[in-house]
Structures are given as C-alpha cells and as structure tokens.
Homo-oligomer: A and B are copies of this chain.
Amino acid sequence: MKISNKVINRLSLYHFILDELGEEEKYISSFKIAELLAVDNSQVRKDIRSLGNCGKCRVGYDVKKLKDAIETTLGFKQTRNAFIVGAGNLGSALAKYDSFANYGLNIVAMFDSDKSKIGSYINGKPVFGLERFLELKNKFDADIAILTVPKKAAQQVTDVLVEAKIKYIWNFTPHILKAPDDVKIWNENLIGSFLQFTNNDEKN
C-alpha cells in the first residue's frame, strides 16, 4: 500500500500519543488525538480508516489494536541496522535517542575522523575510523548511514559511503550530496522546517 509522506508523519505522531497513554486507558477517541495535535478530527478519522480494522467502537478506538495497526502499516517491526557518520554533538544526540530502536532503527556503530573519539563509546555505540566503513558495513549488514559531519566534509564522506554501496543516506548536513541514483538520500532540512513553520499555518 502506498502511503503519502504526510500520512506517515501523522501516523507516527498518533503512535507517540498512544505510546504515552497509561495502562488503564483502553480506548481513545479521534477527538482527543485531533485536539492534542491541533489537526482536524476528520483528518484523524480518515488517516485511521486507511489502516483497516482498528477496533473502532462507541467509546473510540481500541488503543492496542490501533497501535498494532500503525506499527504494521509503517513497518516498525522490520529492524534496520544503521551507522551514524560524524560523532560530534548532533551525531551524539542521535546516538542517545533511544526511541529510534522502538521504531525499527538500530544504530550499531559510529564513525569519525577525530582520533580522540575513535575507540570510545557513545551511549554504548562504538566509534570507528572511517577507513573501516566498508568492512563494518558488511559485518553489521547495515544499509543506512546517518550523516552528521560538518558541511565541508559532507561530499567527501558521502563518496566513501557510496563506494561501500550504502543504500540510504539520511543527510543532516546543509549540503546537497552528489550520489548515484540507486543511493536514496533523505535531506533532513532543518532550515526548510523552520521556514515552513514560521511562514505558514499548514500543520506538519
């Protein structure tokens, strides 16, 4: 099933809400979700309808069934191994973001060019030199690289990742990367995000 990026984004936000409900809350209404996210109730209902059966009843959706349906639809249960390339502040912050593992993103190791960082561990993830990227990519069967190096190093490091046949690059640098068509690049465009939210009333 083809789901648009906007719907994927909203479904993951619904999942955050469900995830924080107490054990005793067995049902949730679309109104409550809509209110928390400041989106239209009709939008929430439509998104949830697209998931198939979510145990809708008079008092709302069955929380457990709705969570399961979102998890199945968005594929949280397929775990993917990933590397963080760049062990500075941003890379370290992402390495410490334990929620990723719950959503199928398993960060197995980090890379940096700084010799004082190589050999250390950040939140239990070992930091290696970039010259070991190919070897460790094969060892860990990782297909995602999260790129958090400084802008000026971004392309040079990308060339190493491409050479090692990485499949996905999640680009946190404000540099547009050059890579062959079979490498999928996702630009985490923070500037664009800022401009979206200050320019306009559309919800994310």
> Is residue A160 contacting chain B, with contact meaning CB distance below 8 A?
no
How does the 8 Å CB contact mask read for A78-93 relative to B, with 1 for contact and 0 for none?
0010000000111011
Q: How many A residues touch B, CB cutoff 8 Å?
A: 61
Which stretch, A2-10, A41-49, A108-116, touches the partner chain B?
A2-10
User: In the bound complex, do residue B204 and residue A193 qualify as a contact, i.e. CB atoms below 8 Å apart?
Assistant: no
Which among B8, B96, B97, B178 is the interface contact of A200 at CB below 8 angstroms? B8
Q: Which of A17, A37, A74, A193 has the most CB atoms of chain B within a 10 A radius of its CB? A: A193
Given A175-B20, A192-B9, verify A198-B168 contact (CB < 8 Å).
yes
A108 to chain B, nearest CB (A): 15
Stretch of A124-132, A133-141, A182-190 with 4 or more beta carbons under 8 angstroms from chain B: A182-190
Question: Counting chain B CB atoms within 10 Å of each CB, which of A17, A36, A90 scores highest?
Answer: A90
Tallying the copies of this chain within the complex gives 2
Which residues does chain B contribute within 8 Å of A176, judged by CB atoms?
A: 13, 16-17, 20, 36-37
B-facing mask of A51-83, CB < 8 A → 1, else 0?
000000000000000000000001110001000
- Smallest distance from the beta carbon of A191 to chain B beta carbons, Å? 5
Interface residue ranges of A135-193 to B (CB < 8 Å)? 144, 148, 151, 168, 170, 174-176, 178, 181, 184-193
Residues of B within 8 A of A93 (CB): 88-90, 93, 148
Q: Are A74's CB and B195's CB within 8 A?
A: yes
Report the separation of the CA atoms of residues A74 and B3 in the bound assembly, to the nearest whole angstrom.
28
Residues of B near A10 (CB, < 8 A) are: 192
